[in-house]
Amino acid sequence: MTEQVTEKDVQLWVGPQHPGVTGNMSVQIWLRGDTIQMGRTHVGYLHRGFEKLMERRKFIQSFPIVCRICVPEPDTNEYLLAAGVEEIAGIVIPEKARWLRTLALEMARLAATLQALGGQVGMMGLGTVPNWTYTLRDYILDRFEELTGARIYHMYIVYGGVRRDLPEGFAARMEEDLRAIEERLPFIDNLIFDNAVFRKRAIGVGKIDPAWIDEMGITGPTARACGVPRDVRRNSPYLVYPELDFDVITAEGCDIFARAQVRRGDITQSIRIIRQILARMPKDGPYCARMPNMLHWTVEKGQTYVRAEASRGEMGYFVVTDGSDKLRRVHVRGPSYVHAVSLLERMLPGTNISDLGATMVSMQTCPPEIER
Amino acid sequence: MQTTLQALKNQFTVQWEKQQRADLHQVGLPREQTLAALTWLKEHTPFVQLTHMSVVDWIEEDQFQITYLLMNPRSYDLLMVCTRIARSGATMESVHKLWPQAVTYEQEMNEMFGVEFPGSPRQGESFILEGWEDIPPMRRDFDTVQFVLDHIPDRPGRLSINTREFIGRKVGEKRLLHD
């Protein structure tokens, strides 16, 4: 116990099945009245030893593992594993694969952001918005199913490129979905940002001190809601992002409301990016480099760190190879590792217990990427 | 980046360095100088943010590699600082006073690899595992298959497929087994 906690304080475990927790994770809190004195994040409910499993499998066999590290947005994990190994092995992917990978990543960001925005207000009891946003997310999952054969775990990005080209008529069907999302967005705006309940529970709640951003390594929408334009797509561009026109959305409040504003802006930017990709992508050309037999492929000794902008912030993979046919070590650095443990524990003292769930969800916590 | 690297080399013994990408440099430092170098980097260079910490088990060389990834939040350049420590009685200085989020990394590295970080606040507290009595599970000599065989009973009637034989029948034994 630290100085701010006394024996008279009430200890309470929130989770791992609490609706305010975005996955199986617990927060142990010490309460005085209804004010949290101290909080401690506990994980371990989803640990399956993904990093260890990858050390025992051939390179290609790691894709069904990494996509499970974040259920709402698996494609970032697939991309980072592929990019890390390709960098060490010196593999250059074809031009069309760069566009198709960016498309998959942006579709995943859009689907995950819709889910997160709905989840944010849904946990405050405003059930209409998640009904809409989850339906809209399902439209994107329909396109994923068409593109990859799977709705959730796509395993679309592989070493050398992607598994397949766009199906016939994909762009037209995607455009229909994007229009459906755009038509619904004004209603969503009205029901979130002009809603007295949401404003009262979000403005000035879950504040982050901008000084913590560099100190703690805060990234993505959580940093951008403090006015810091931190976005890997712009700051350290990869794939075809340097060729695309998009804005890095920021807000100023540093609170739950500002983080929701950033997510809402991200939806518009993702739609904009997807349209540009479908309009400008090369029609022909290979979508995967010629690769050696995956059952016998060995990669020279090396190590690297690759990163990409997931919907929650910077996601990174530390990849180590040793010249064998298996990964020597993979360490996943998900944004939730910092946001939901160190940052959340720092934010909680002084918070009202009724704001705990909203604060946690506002950072789009994804527990599997903490424990892997 | 080059200015920082040169200053680092002037002040400390850089054992090796490598430019992995335009935005990622790697350096190797002796264990005794690592904490001083990290403190210097945080206080005197733009590499103020700790993005990542990790351990690699080089069991053949009886060493652990501890990796610190620092970022310059203005240029987004990355500097990977690597150091090696002995595997037996593995101990490393904590950096939690430089970066508060290092507590979580050090807690996990202690649990998963058995590396001690004296003075780090949550050493010995379980992060993911509860009641673990075996050797730290991320060490290379921890056998996951044996652990499963020892602790998880086989369900009667379950059909097990030898993947190697199954794929071998599909693609042809000679092609699969020629390694």
- For chain A, how far is it from start to end, CA to CA, in angstroms? 28
Which B positions 46-85 lie with beta carbon below 8 A of chain A? 48-52, 54, 56-57, 67, 69, 71, 73, 76, 78, 80
Q: Distance from A197 to chain B by nearest Cα, in Å?
A: 34
Is the pLDDT at A20 greater than 70? The verdict is no
CB B104 within 8 A of CB A40: no
The pLDDT-based confidence of B179 (bands split at 50, 70, 90) is very low
Query: What does the radius of gyration of chain B's CA atoms come to, in whole angstroms?
Result: 21
The candidate with the shortest Cα–Cα distance to A62, out of A37, A35, A81, is A81
The candidate with the shortest Cα–Cα distance to A363, out of A220, A160, A235, is A220
Flag the least confident range among A93-102, A126-135, A180-189, A361-370.
A361-370
CB of A333 within 8 Å of any CB in chain B?
yes
Residues of B in contact with A328 (CB under 8 A): 56
> CA geometry: angle at A326 spanning A155 and A75, to 5°?
20
The pLDDT assigned to A76 comes to 95
Report the alpha-carbon distance of residue B56 to residue A79 in Å, rounded. Answer: 22
Three-state SS for B108?
A: helix
- For chain A, domains (ranges, CATH) are 67-331 (1.10.645.10)
Across A325-344, average pLDDT: 91
Across A37-41, average pLDDT: 91
The pLDDT assigned to A1 comes to 43
Q: Two tokens at A191?
A: 């029901």
Across B108-126, average pLDDT: 91
Do the Cβ atoms of B100 and A342 come within 8 Å?
yes
Could you please report the per-residue DSSP string of A200-257?
Answer: HHHTTSS---TTHHHHHT--HHHHHTTT----HHHHS--TTGGGS-------S--SHH
pLDDT in tens, A224-243: 999 999 999 999 999 999 99
Report the alpha-carbon distance of residue B74 to residue A52 in Å, rounded. Answer: 34
CB A303 within 8 A of CB A178: no
Q: Residue A176 burial (CB < 10 Å; 0-12/13-18/19+)?
A: exposed
CB of A86 within 8 Å of any CB in chain B?
no
Please give the class, per CATH, of domain B2-177: alpha beta
Residue A277's CB: how many other CB atoms inside 10 A? Answer: 23
Q: Which residues pair with A26 in a beta bridge?
A: A42
pLDDT in tens, A202-212: 999 999 999 99
Do the Cβ atoms of A333 and B52 come within 8 Å?
yes
DSSP conformational letter for B153: P
pLDDT in tens, A352-369: 999 998 898 888 888 888
What is the maximum alpha-carbon separation in chain A? 70
Is the pLDDT at A161 greater than 80? The verdict is yes
Residues of B in contact with A43 (CB under 8 A): 127-128
Q: Residue B174 burial (CB < 10 Å; 0-12/13-18/19+)?
A: exposed
Report the alpha-carbon distance of residue A58 to residue B144 in Å, rounded. Answer: 16
ipTM given for this complex: 0.89
CB B116 within 8 A of CB B110: yes
Domain spans, chain B: 2-177
The pLDDT-based confidence of A19 (bands split at 50, 70, 90) is low
Q: Two tokens at A284?
A: 């022909």
Could you please report the per-residue DSSP string of B29-62?
Answer: --HHHHHHHHHHHHHHSS--EEEEEEEEEEGGGT
